[in-house]
Amino acid sequence: MRKNLMFQSTLSGSGKSLITASLCRHLSNKGYNVSPFKSLNISLNSFITEDGSEIGVSQAFQSWACGREPCHQMNPLLLKATGNSATQLIVNGKPSKGFCSRNDNDRKRLMSIVYDSYEFLEKTSDVIIIEGSGTPAEINLSDVANMATAEMFEAPVIIIGDIDTGGVFAGLYGTYKLLERKHRDLVKGFMINKFRGDPSILSPGIERIESEIGAPCLGTVSYRNYRFPEEDSLSLGGPINPNPLGDDIRDVWLKNLDLFLENMGQEVDFGVLENIIDRGI
């Protein structure tokens, strides 16, 4: 049985990358060999690995959270905006042309690349923590990064809702209901991120969503203003968290991650997440 867990979300910018990094860090601290994985990333901000491959900066951050050096298998497909209505596809760390996810043959080739990368990581990992891209409810698009990946690797899915943008309960319910029935079965819980205030006021809404989708709330994570890499399209346009003090930005991000993880541990039962990984789907 594969040992993995996947975080998806109701919208872009919900905190998938950070929560993925946090679970990677938690499991790594417990002595597991952990790898992050994101089949398809859509990002302007990227990172160059030691062998010259280009991947999303968040997968590099997540890799460091695991105590590993980043490699292109952690993010085999990277889509970068290069101008108005123009994009560049990076495949296995290198620029590529001639792929279209709406073409059945091309989609099969892309999914084959995703599969090979995951298999590579699995050989040296006890657990793989997978991050989705955007939302699985984009029913107008051919899915590669979300439920297609979860189904391929038999990954239990946790859906993250961002309460800071509003409409979190509608987002959780609508996302779940727009999934195919076979994909709903992969959903094992949900989380609410970026909450400000007393979380007890969410109880009626949480109970309703738990009843509607048949999966538990695994925690409400408070909003905290720490420094982490930015890659989502909602935060494009500036440098990646510049550090005026001149410190190694990797160390700054990891120190902030440890602070975030310490607080998150009081709001999320990591033992439950570990049990979901152990049980699988």
CB 16: neighbour CB atoms within 10 A? Answer: 28
pLDDT in tens, 124-167: 999 999 999 999 998 877 789 999 999 999 999 999 999 999 99
Give me the pLDDT at residue 84, please: 64
Reply yes or no on domain 4-270 having CATH 3.40.50.300: yes
Distance CA 253, CA 230 (A): 11
Give me the pLDDT at residue 45, please: 84
| Domains in the chain: boundaries | 4-270
| pLDDT at residue 182 greater than cutoff 90 | yes
Q: What percent of the chain has pLDDT over 70?
A: 90
Q: Residue 62 — very low, low, confident or very high, per pLDDT cuts 50/70/90? A: very high
| Chain centre to alpha carbon of residue 117 | 16
pLDDT in tens, 206-229: 999 999 999 999 999 999 887 777
pLDDT in tens, 225-273: 877 776 544 333 333 444 434 457 889 899 999 999 999 999 999 999 9
Q: In this structure, are residues 259 and 246 in contact, taking their beta carbons and an 8 Å threshold?
A: no
